[in-house]
Amino acid sequence: DGGITQSPKYLFRKEGQNVTLSCEQNLNHDAMYWYRQDPGQGLRLIYYSQIVNDFQKGDIAEGYSVSREKKESFPLTVTSAQKNPTAFYLCASTLSPRGNTIYFGEGSWLTVV
């Protein structure tokens, strides 16, 4: 079945450590996105990528980094510079950069202690 796979589902890290969240899609979608979801705040865009080896900052990119070396993969690194990293992270994709329907993975819960 086609879809977006995120791993790990749950992740605990100590403060000051970097952590990388994996996102893989087999939908053959061109564009991929990372969102952060906090209670009562809706989804906030961290980074998005239109094509391989290209990505753009979203609204809350500080403290995060991404790479897009393959079309199907868009990993997100939460660095120690991110002041409040505990959150639910969602990877998403659209068929094309101007795609009008966005599809989501199952999410990754990151808890920093």
Cβ proximity to other proteins: between 18 and 68 the closer is 68
- Min dist CB 93 to other proteins, Å, is 12
**Binding of other proteins by 61 (CB under 8 A):** no
DSSP secondary structure of 77-98: EE-TT-S---EEEEEEEESSTT
Candidates 14-22, 40-48, 61-69, 73-81; binding stretch for other proteins (CB under 8 A)? 40-48
Q: Which two tokens stand for residue 28?
A: 């053959």
**Binding of other proteins by 58 (CB under 8 A):** yes
**Binding of other proteins by 53 (CB under 8 A):** no
**Binding of other proteins by 33 (CB under 8 A):** yes
Give the residue among 103, 76, 109 at the shortest CA–CA distance from 1: 103
Site string for other proteins, 93-112 (x = CB under 8 A): -x-xxxxxxxxxxxx-x---
Q: Which two tokens stand for residue 50?
A: 């239109």
Burial of 53 (0-12, 13-18, 19+ CB in 10 A): exposed
Strand pairing report for 87-94 and 76-78: unpaired
Q: Could you list the residues that contact other proteins (CB under 8 A)?
A: 4, 6, 31, 33, 40-43, 45, 48, 50, 56, 58, 88, 90, 94, 96-107, 109
